[in-house]
Amino acid sequence: MSELDFESILGPGGSISRRIPNYELRREQLQMAHAVSRALADRKHLIVEAGTGVGKSFGYLVPAILFATSDEAALEAQAQAQAEQQSPAAQRPNEDEDPKVRRIVISTHTISLQEQLIGKDLPLLNAVIPREFTSVLVKGRSNYLSRRRMKVADSRLASLLYDDRDFEQYEEIQRWVGSTSDGSLSSLPFRPSGILWDELSSDSGNCMGRKCPTFDSCFYYAARRRVANAKILVVNHALFFSDLAVRAQGGSFLPNYHAVIFDECHTMESVAGEHLGLTISNSQIDYTLRKLYNPRNDKGTLVSLGLRQLMQLSFGCMESLDDFVGAFLAWAEVRSPQNGRLRTPVSVETDLCKKLRELSAELERYGKDLKDTNVKLDMMSASNRLAGLANSLETWLLQKETGSVYWFEKKETRGTGRIFTRLTLRCSPLDVGNYLREHLFQKVPSVIMTSATIATKQTASTEPTQAKKDDPAFEFYQRRIGAQGAPTLQVGSPFDYPRLAQLHMLSDLPDPSAEKIKYEDAIIPALKYYIGRFDGHAFVLFTSYDSLRRCSQALGPWMSQQGLATYSQADGTPRTELLNAFKEHPRGVLFGAESFWQGVDVPGDALKLVVITKLPFSVPDHPLLEARLESIRQAGGNPFRDFQLPEAVIKFRQGFGRLIRTATDSGIVLVTDPRMSTKPYGSTFVSSLPDCPKKTISAKQFKA
């Protein structure tokens, strides 16, 4: 084809097929690319469910790149139309931003997908698409080392650090900074301690901007310049929604963009809720105060400056913090429910907010008259941080954010000779959809959302379909994120599921919700049979760590006899380590909880069996879920039908999707939860899956 469009790149005889040997044309990918291209051109939103194997990253990247590199005249007309619709705050240009750059943000949930996009997919497309474009991975400011703060730290670390390992790490960072090209935390060959990196990293409250003597060589501003001139920005959901919250207040740290594409969009509601809400903990406040003055080792910024009066004020804040935590926990033990949810403002007397503000004001008063710029910035940064903590604490205590759910969490940890109680105060919007409707869907011309699991059922037709509105399979997702009315498209997987996968369902077992322990004991014989049949090569997925621990312990002796390895998330081993160990030695079983239900790829013969031990209904007593279910009930809805069931179906589909990752994978998904066959809603789970052979098996045939 002479015309440059997505088919000339992705289609038969296209530039990618000429570049990649044995490239297979995917009709579903072209269908998705067509819908994305149309949505971008028409300034519309779009929701696309693309089954495993569609190659959805190319399905949205190619039309995104073509849109971002299209005619400049069209860009100017579109920019003018957009400016007329937006508020003055939304029109405010970002410093260093090139107004001629048509920019698209790609937001993902997992690091692994970001790495795939930046390290593999975008470089390939840059090589085969004959247009100029740049793409960058956008990281938060604190990921970058500050050269100026590094120089300042030389003379101050002795009064700030007390661990020998911190000093060793500092020396390693000094060597690294001479060779690093980007100065980012991810390129550092080790993970530095939090207190050390906090002293060295770029900080908006401790930055001189263009007045800084190291501005020209600043790692953060170099990254910012790359971002300002890039057409494709890759971010994670957390960064995106943090920026969205700042934009709602009239600021931003991402440059303006013309469209955003959410990959792994099924996590949007949970991530948005976390970053549009508020979280503050006593350890957060304690850490900030002890950076100023640590009475246990007589170190800190104020000690190095000899500011005794400010040290006393800081110590007074620590005492007030301890008093508040004790008083709050005593109050909550009598007045709050077990799940920690608070429906009314907290009636605990405390002077903590007042004392934090007093210390903040004194730091500002002292800092603003200093001639030493570095010390002045330290004082002003600490002042702003303390004021922010005081405001957040007051907001939570008085429940100033209307339409939000408030709760607290407490956890005890053992430190150096003492027990520390971590008290975390949280609030989150009850309805994220309302916020996103106002601040995302009504502000950004085109929002594209895609994932392998969005709908609550499969489209029966295998023929190509156009994006459409009001598909009931997407209604739950649209309602939760505020995207009602957005066109939807469901493209199935190109994989031959009837040949590659089987679904086995156990019956004749105790109800796992009513007889939990009996049920867990009863599934062990069946697990032994299936694990033995595949000689390991299995994932066993759980909805709780307690069940995971009991099951892995019950199977442990038998697995040892069989020479099978046990990879258990209950041991506290990080997910990445567990997954890598399993891939290297798959003759074993990986026992995983929620984080293994999604975003995990084990292609090939390493994984032949996936066991889903329980239908993934959320625990209804979590404060946020409890409030959302109450809200549905008060509005006349049915909480189970309208929320719990469709949410569980989407999670279930994610778990099922772990088995088949390539066109040559094969195996069995075993569901041991008998409710698949005993409850009316069981058919909803079954109908949500790709077409494949299904078999119901009595657990009685497996002997203990």
pLDDT per residue as tens digits for the range 331-382: 999 988 889 999 999 999 999 999 999 999 999 999 988 888 888 898 999 9
Instruction: Please provide the average confidence, as pLDDT, over all residues in the chain.
Output: 90
* pLDDT < 50: residue spans in the chain: 1-2, 73, 87-95, 460-464
Residue 413: per-residue pLDDT? 79
571 by Cβ neighbours in 10 Å (0-12 / 13-18 / 19+) ranks as exposed
Taking only the tens place, the pLDDT of each residue in 33-66 is 999 999 999 999 999 999 999 999 999 999 999 9
- Supply the pTM of this predicted model: 0.90
At 486, list the tokens: 């957005």
Burial 656-677 (b: 16+ CB within 10 A, else e): bbbbbbeeebebbbbbbbbbbb
**Kind of pairing, strands 609-612 and 667-671?**
parallel
Cβ atoms of 147 and 217 closer than 8 Å: yes
Closest CA to 352 of 318, 398, 388: 318
Domains 6-134+229-270+433-491 and 497-701 share a fold: yes
Residue 85: per-residue pLDDT? 53
Q: From CA 703, how far away is CA 699, in angstroms rounded?
A: 9
The residue whose two tokens read 């990247």 is 61
Residue 460: per-residue pLDDT? 44
Domain ranges of the chain: 6-134+229-270+433-491, 141-224, 278-400, 497-701
In the chain, the amino acid numbered 334 is V
Q: Which CATH number is correct for 6-134+229-270+433-491, 3.40.50.720, 3.40.50.300, 3.40.50.10440, 3.90.1150.10?
A: 3.40.50.300
Region label for 222, one of left (φ > 0), alpha (ψ between -120 and 50) or beta (otherwise): alpha
Cβ atoms of 702 and 525 closer than 8 Å: yes
Region label for 390, one of left (φ > 0), alpha (ψ between -120 and 50) or beta (otherwise): alpha
With a CB cutoff of 8 Å and minimum separation 6, the contacts of 601 are 112, 661
Residue 72: per-residue pLDDT? 52
Q: Please tell me the CATH superfamily of domain 497-701, with its number.
A: P-loop containing nucleotide triphosphate hydrolases (3.40.50.300)
Q: From CA 665, how far away is CA 456, in angstroms rounded?
A: 24
Q: From CA 288, how far away is CA 21, in angstroms rounded?
A: 56
With a CB cutoff of 8 Å and minimum separation 6, the contacts of 535 are 564, 587
Cβ atoms of 233 and 105 closer than 8 Å: yes
Three-class DSSP category at 671: strand
- What does the DSSP assignment read for 381-441? HHHHHHHHHHHHHHHHHHT-STTEEEEEEEEEEE-SSSEEEEEEEEEEES-HHHHHIIIII
Cβ atoms of 61 and 125 closer than 8 Å: yes
Residue 151: per-residue pLDDT? 87
Residue 6: per-residue pLDDT? 86
